[in-house]
Structure 1
Amino acid sequence: MREPIQIFIFAFFQGQQALFDTLDMLQQQLRGTGVALVTPFTTNGAIDWTGLERLINHVIEGGVNYVVTLGTTGETPTLSSDEKLDLIKFTFEKVSKRVPVVVGIGDYSTADVVSRLEKCPLDDAAAILSVSPFYSKPTQEGIFQHYKAIAAASPKPIILYNVPARTGRNMTAETTLRLAHEVENIVAMKEASGDMLQCMQIIRDKPKDFLVISGDDGVAFPQLACGMDGVISVAANYFAKDFSAMVKATLDGNIAEGRRLHYKMLEGFDLMFMENNPAGIKAFLSFDKIIENTFRLPILPVSNDLQAKINTFLKGY
């Protein structure tokens, strides 16, 4: 019979191996194309569940590697707490384990994020995407302590999300790397600063098992060529097949094919983000009747002039 200390050591190393196996699987799941799902609405402002199911099937059949629900693209600031819970449950149900699901949970209040992590149904989530605190413009130390606190509270691994155009505060390469090296439950970064030098500093100095994921569709191709591990994309809601193929080709080292697909979609990227996200991507999706072109205030449809340009582009795509 094993002595108690031997049993303890055996159980400890079994637990460590299980943790390593889980993290290794997660690295594989989050490499490639993730899509930040829009939230379709009906003309009376309710969530369009039929349209959302159609969209989920569209992106999975197009080849995306995973989906993200409750990102900014999903108009989450306009959703009630109950609607957010319903969206999580519905997404799990309709994805039906065909691809992993990442859930967006972020806020400017650290305590509110921790509370939502405790209340949300996350058993089937692969990871949590959590945006850097917005509006309050914390210091870099404040950002670090925010993420450290939510990582400690989260039942799932955390993907950092830096998008200073929306939050009002850039998370520097130094802060990102400190979190990557020091906080065990933080496993990846969605980088949408638009600063290529900052992106390359993170790629160069990150831990080996830490993923750096692009959050900028228009520059995703060069970022992948620089060493990023994938993209969490808005454009892949519409360009699911071509975008996924572009990411895969580039990650596989087929730069020529990745470049070809990038330039095929490039004008679309420009039109999609010209006025507003998600107004642009919904204009694209409604053209193919995947969802309705409807929103909740303060988001409005794109202008008639831009819609005409989008229609002309898509007719020739």
Structure 2
Amino acid sequence: MQLKGILPALVTPFDSKGAVNLEVLADILEHQLKAGVTGFVPMGTTGEYYALTNEERRLVMSTVREVVGDRGTLITGANGTCTREVIEQIKQAQDCGYSNILLAPPYYSIPTQEELIGHYQAILDAIPDINVILYNYPVRTNVEVGYSVLEALADHPRVVAIKESSGNLLRAIEIGENYKGRVQLSCGSDDQALDFFLWGATSWISAPANCFTGMVCDFYNRISSGDILGAQDVMRALFPVMAMMEAGKFIQKVKYGCELAGFNVGPGRMPLQPLTEEEKTAFRKVYEASQG
């Protein structure tokens, strides 16, 4: 499996009553496909996976599968608090037509590195027909997918990549250099995307691609064709808005960005609270500036 291009880490739209809005989701998918994305990743952090019921997760995954078909690579998150729950979530994802799974460490239990290796190995043994993309996001899980884990899994034929979201650029550089040809590097730190690609990343699982689809795809087209200065110009325009996203209320700001882009995706689910009017004004200012 070759992981390339821009794969939006999809938001989950909600309607005025708080239900999942599948019509808006389908519109977003078509818009992003026309802009040039290469695939999609529902059921991640930006998709508020943790706040959805199992039935809602199934609805979202099935809708994405149905709308996209064979027009893009599909990867879904299937995370949980323990190995048993993760295996159950992966089986549900398989029922919805997914074979590529994005797996963060189980949260709350805080496994050791040896236990994390055992966790991933148990999943690979229990479900032999999936590809795994490791997901390192320690600010959310309080556990790093450490080098000992990478070393243990790097040559497994179904461990294909790592989405690196630690914010530690040195880690991304080391992975790109030391695991080249063994584990593909996917950018998960949006404000470091230029650096990631310079150091060997081939894909960007991108939350900003929800609301800056054209610009993010333009960046990828430029960097992949060798136009580094052109790619830098795109990132220079995007950086202020991405920095504001990273400063707090990330999901709410991505969703508000979708609203500004013309898609009514609704607010985040509790415990997330809506942006204040002051926060909206500040975000809208940098959003509009990014559009030139």
Q: TM-score range by the shorter chain?
A: over 0.9
Residue from 67, 76, 90 that aligns with 2:49: 76
State the Cα deviation string for residues 12-48 of structure 1 (Å, max 9, x = none).
Answer: xxxxxxxxxxxxxx21xx2111111000001211011
Matched to 2:145, the amino acid is: M
Give every structure 1 segment of 4 or more consecutive aligned residues whose post-TM-superposition deviation is greater than 4 Å.
none
Q: State the distance in 2 between where 1:208 and 1:171 align.
A: 19
Tell me the equivalent position of 1:45: 18
Contact 2:100 2:131 in 1 (8 A): yes
Tell me the equivalent position of 2:268: 295
Counterpart check, 1:166 vs 2:133: no
Rate the CA distance shift 1:273–1:235 in 2: closer, same or farther, 3 A: same
SS at the partner of 2:161? strand
Contact 1:190 1:215 in 2 (8 A): yes
Q: State the distance in 2 between where 1:223 and 1:315 align.
A: 26
* TM-score (ref. length: structure 2): 0.93
Q: State the distance in 2 between where 1:124 and 1:108 align.
A: 23
Counterpart check, 1:67 vs 2:55: no
Q: Where does 1:124-163 land on structure 2 (aligned, <5 Å)?
A: 124-125=97-98, 127-154=100-127, 155-163=129-137
Q: State the distance in 2 between where 1:140 and 1:163 align.
A: 14
State the Cα deviation string for residues 226-248 of structure 1 (Å, max 9, x = none).
Answer: 11122100000111111122123
The answer for unaligned runs of 5 or more in structure 2 is none
Tell me the equivalent position of 2:190: 217
Tell me the equivalent position of 1:87: 60
Q: Which has the larger radius of gyration?
A: 1
CA shift, 1:118, in A, is 2.4
Alignment RMSD: 1.6
Q: Where does 1:180-219 land on structure 2 (aligned, <5 Å)?
A: 180-181=154-155, 183-206=156-179, 208-219=181-192
Rate the CA distance shift 1:295–1:308 in 2: closer, same or farther, 3 A: same
Contact 1:173 1:201 in 2 (8 A): no
> Which stretch of structure 1 is more off in the superposition, 285-294 or 223-232?
285-294
Residue from 172, 176, 181 that aligns with 2:150: 176
Q: State the distance in 1 between where 2:142 and 2:203 align.
A: 25
CA shift, 1:129, in A, is 0.7
Contact 1:177 1:202 in 2 (8 A): no
Q: State the distance in 2 between where 1:127 and 1:305 align.
A: 40
Tell me the equivalent position of 1:246: 219
CA shift, 1:168, in A, is 0.8
Contact 1:100 1:125 in 2 (8 A): no
Rate the CA distance shift 1:293–1:120 in 2: closer, same or farther, 3 A: closer
CA shift, 1:185, in A, is 1.5
Residue from 178, 201, 217 that aligns with 1:228: 201
CA shift, 1:315, in A, is 3.1
State the Cα deviation string for residues 63-110 of structure 1 (Å, max 9, x = none).
Answer: 111101111111111111111111111111111322121111112211
Rate the CA distance shift 1:38–1:260 in 2: closer, same or farther, 3 A: same
Contact 2:76 2:93 in 1 (8 A): no
* TM-score (ref. length: structure 1): 0.86
Q: State the distance in 2 between where 1:139 and 1:210 align.
A: 21
Tell me the equivalent position of 1:19: none
Residue from 235, 247, 250 that aligns with 1:274: 247
Q: State the distance in 2 between where 1:315 and 1:206 align.
A: 39
The answer for unaligned runs of 5 or more in structure 1 is 1-25
State the Cα deviation string for residues 179-227 of structure 1 (Å, max 9, x = none).
Answer: 112x332111001111122222211221515211010110111111111
Matched to 2:110, the amino acid is: K
State the Cα deviation string for residues 97-145 of structure 1 (Å, max 9, x = none).
Answer: 2212111111221111112222334574351111122121111111111
Contact 2:78 2:93 in 1 (8 A): no
Q: State the distance in 2 between where 1:238 and 1:31 align.
A: 20
Q: State the distance in 2 between where 1:146 and 1:106 align.
A: 12
> Which stretch of structure 1 is more off in the superposition, 150-159 or 119-128?
119-128
SS at the partner of 2:75? strand
Q: State the distance in 1 between where 2:70 and 2:200 align.
A: 28
Matched to 1:72, the amino acid is: T
